[in-house]
Amino acid sequence: MKLRYIIFRKETPKTSEDNDKPKTSEDNDKFEFTDEPPITVKDETGKEHTVYRIRAKKDIIVNGIIVVHNGELGGFIEKEENLDYKSNAWISGNAIVFGDAKVYGDAWVHDRAQVYGKAQVFGEAVVAGDAMVHGKAKVYGRAVVAGNAEVTGEAEVYGNAMVFGKAKVSGKSNIHERAMVYGKTKVCDREVAGDEKL
């Protein structure tokens, strides 16, 4: 059984006078932090991070399709820098992005997925389900990381590659083109490319 590194704990509700939710930039017309009580999460080192739910301040359109409506609740982030407010990227459901992780471009992190550490999700990439992307990992292009998959270390998943199931990609692995890593497969310091399936 895979040990998850995150612990949820609802904080004591704060009044509007002592609410210490993060501030957003004046030119951030994409999202705002809600007054919903924050959640405390722990990373794999045990360090605590406080994350806050976001809400869209406008419709977000990708390729002519509205993917997020104005007023719709999003997922949780620790600080404004976790979600680029100048792009169409979005975090929804109960997904959490914290630490120095960043989601940008047209990327989408949703369900209960977690992105943290110094990880990056960008391009048209999707991280979904209970997937975790952390360390200095990168997921980009049109890649998908889903299920209970984990991408960590300095691994990169890109192109149209997919990592799902309970697969783990770590080290300096490169999963790209149309490659698929799934099931309980573990890939470390390896390239998986083309139409290869593991």
pLDDT reported for residue 181: 97
Edge to edge, the sheet with strand 180-181 lists 90-91, 108-109, 126-127, 144-145, 162-163, 180-181
Q: What is the pLDDT of residue 10?
A: 53
* Measured CA distances, 128 to 28, 111, 139, 149 (Å): 25, 6, 12, 9
Q: What is the pLDDT along the chain (198 residues), one digit of tens a residue?
A: 344 545 455 554 544 444 588 988 899 999 999 999 999 999 888 999 999 999 999 998 876 778 899 999 999 999 999 999 999 999 999 999 999 999 999 999 999 999 999 999 999 999 999 999 999 999 999 999 999 999 999 999 999 999 999 999 999 999 999 999 999 999 999 999 999 898
Domains and CATH numbers, the chain: 28-192 (2.160.10)
Instruction: Please state the three-class secondary structure of the chain as a single string.
Output: CCCCCCCCEECCCCCCCCCCCCCCCCCCCCEEECCCCCEEEECCCCCEEEEEEEEECCCEEECCEEEECCCCEEEEECCHHHECCCCCCEECCCCEECCCCEECCCCEECCCCEECCCCEECCCCEECCCCEECCCCEECCCCEECCCCEECCCCEECCCCEECCCCEEECCCEECCCCEECCCCEEECCEECCCCEC
- State residue 67's pLDDT score: 82
Residue 44, pLDDT score: 85
Half-sphere exposure of 110 (CA within 13 A, CB side): 14
